[in-house]
Amino acid sequence: MTDTATNPITSGDATSTGDATRSSLETMPLGRAINAGLRKAMADDPRVLLMGEDIGTLGGVFRVTEGLQAEFGANRVIDTPLAESGIVGTAIGLAMGGFRPVVEIQFDGFIYPGFDQITSQLAKMTARHEGSLQMPVVIRVPYGGHIGAVEHHQESPEAYFAHTAGLRVVSPSTPHDAYWMIQEAIRSNDPVMFFEPKSRYWPKGEVDLADPHAPLHASRVVRTGTEVTLLGHGAMVSTLLQAAEIAAGEGISAEVVDLRSLSPVDYGPILESVRKTGRLVVAQEAPGFVSVGSEIAATVAEKAFYSLEAPVLRVSGFDTPFPPAKLETLYLPDADRVLEAVDRALAY
């Protein structure tokens, strides 16, 4: 990733609404919202420290941690060697010692050298000690496509970790959720995989600094509708909202649900929506085979079978390695592919 002199995450100041009755509201990009959430967590708890490649002096490739080392010092915002297994292993040791480390994996495709530490040690440590040893470790993972990057810099590996017992897995889609969810993840006594949709780092949104609106592991309806439910997480939520808007222009009422938590999954709002609409389209950037979308489709078919008017349909990336940047628009689901699935669901 080529470094730039300025970055929309940090160069654009948050702006208050100016309304005295809404003074808790600020507008900021998702990346800066994570930065603000990390700052708040570090100010509130001296046990919180950050670790990762180039996160200190540089502020991270995406500048998400910019300014934090200057504010909290190099002992709490630590530039590590390029060694993901060592970074995660060190975080596990720090958690054993009473700290609450937050690890950044610089890009999604770089997580695999640390995979054994995460799945064999971090995820199992508490169970291994029959609950007597907590593992309050957060692993931040920028993931997904839409940034035109090279191999190993645009992947969606979230299913590996959602499948792993002992890990919590979440992904915010808005600046508001990013600000609150990173703080809630840090407060968790269980390890949390925090997947950040890197293509959403720059678009701005409103953040309510006084009210999280929903707990860490809650799914949430973000657009109401009556004929079909569209479900996704991370960057896919904005695509689903775009598809729902287009559908509305064609006389189709689509409800959009933001999954937010991939493990555990909050099925309450999902099932309630499906029982109302009778149809479900699950969308994700990741490949479809043995995926988060597959699990949700199976569970909804099991628990809401008699409410379904059509099979649960899935829209996903293809079951191939992520392609070169020039082909990413062909690989990643867009509003047209979602709407094609909506048409098929409504045809039953």
Q: What is the pLDDT of residues 208-224, one digit of tens each?
A: 999 999 999 999 999 99
Phi, psi of 72 (to 5 degrees): -110, -10
What pLDDT shows up at residue 79? Answer: 97
Tokens coding 9: 């995450």
What pLDDT shows up at residue 147? Answer: 80
Q: Residue 104 in contact with residue 140, Cβ under 8 Å?
A: yes
Q: Could you give the CA distance from residue 143 to residue 318 in angstroms, rounded to a whole number?
A: 16
Architecture of the domain defined by 9-208:
3-Layer(aba) Sandwich (3.40)
Query: Going by CATH, does the domain composed of 220-347 fall within 3.40.50.170?
Result: no
Strands (E), the chain: 15-16, 25-29, 48-52, 77-79, 100-104, 138-143, 168-170, 192-197, 204-208, 220-223, 228-232, 254-258, 261-263, 280-287, 313-317
Q: Residue 258 in contact with residue 230, Cβ under 8 Å?
A: no
Per-residue pLDDT band for 22 (boundaries 50, 70, 90) equals low
Is pLDDT of 116 > 90? yes
- For the chain, the distance separating the N- and C-terminal CA atoms, rounded to the nearest angstrom, is 46
Average pLDDT score over the chain: 93
Using a pLDDT cut of 90, give the percent of the chain over it. Answer: 89
């959602």: which residue's tokens?
162
DSSP-based three-state secondary structure for 330: helix
Q: Could you give the CA distance from residue 348 to residue 222 in angstroms, rounded to a whole number?
A: 26
Q: Residue 93 in contact with residue 179, Cβ under 8 Å?
A: no
Q: In what order do the strands lie in the sheet with 168-170?
A: 77-79, 48-52, 100-104, 138-143, 192-197, 168-170, 261-263
Q: What is the CA radius of gyration of the chain?
A: 20
What pLDDT shows up at residue 149? Answer: 82
- Mean pLDDT across the stretch 185-195? 98
What pLDDT shows up at residue 154? Answer: 86
- In this structure, is the dihedral angle defined by the CA atoms of residues 272, 236, 224 and 343, taken in order, positive or negative? negative
Per residue in 68-79, pLDDT (tens digit) is 999 999 999 999
Point out the residues that are catalytic.
153
C-alpha closest to that of 123 among 156, 82, 95, 152: 95
Residue 95 C-alpha from the chain's centroid: 23
Per residue in 238-283, pLDDT (tens digit) is 999 999 999 999 999 999 999 999 999 999 999 999 999 999 999 9
Q: Is the link from the previous residue into 101 a cis peptide, with omega within 30 of 0?
A: no
The least confident of 149-158, 229-238, 245-254, 283-292 is: 149-158
What pLDDT shows up at residue 189? Answer: 97
Cα dihedral value 76, 81, 86, 90, nearest 10: -10
Is pLDDT of 18 > 50? no
What pLDDT shows up at residue 8? Answer: 37
What pLDDT shows up at residue 7? Answer: 40
The least confident of 105-109, 125-129, 149-153, 176-180 is: 149-153
Q: Could you give the CA distance from residue 164 to residue 144 in angstroms, rounded to a whole number?
A: 20
Is pLDDT of 37 > 60? yes
Domain 220-347 in the same topology as domain 9-208: yes
Q: Residue 281 in contact with residue 256, Cβ under 8 Å?
A: no
Residue 11 C-alpha from the chain's centroid: 23
Q: Could you give the CA distance from residue 30 to residue 143 in angstroms, rounded to a whole number?
A: 14
Strand partners, 282: 231, 314
Residues with Cβ within 8 Å of 309's Cβ and at least 6 positions away in sequence, in order, are 278, 279, 345, 348
Per residue in 323-343, pLDDT (tens digit) is 988 899 999 999 999 999 999
Cα dihedral value 283, 287, 289, 293, nearest 10: -20
Sequence spans of domains, the chain: 9-208, 220-347
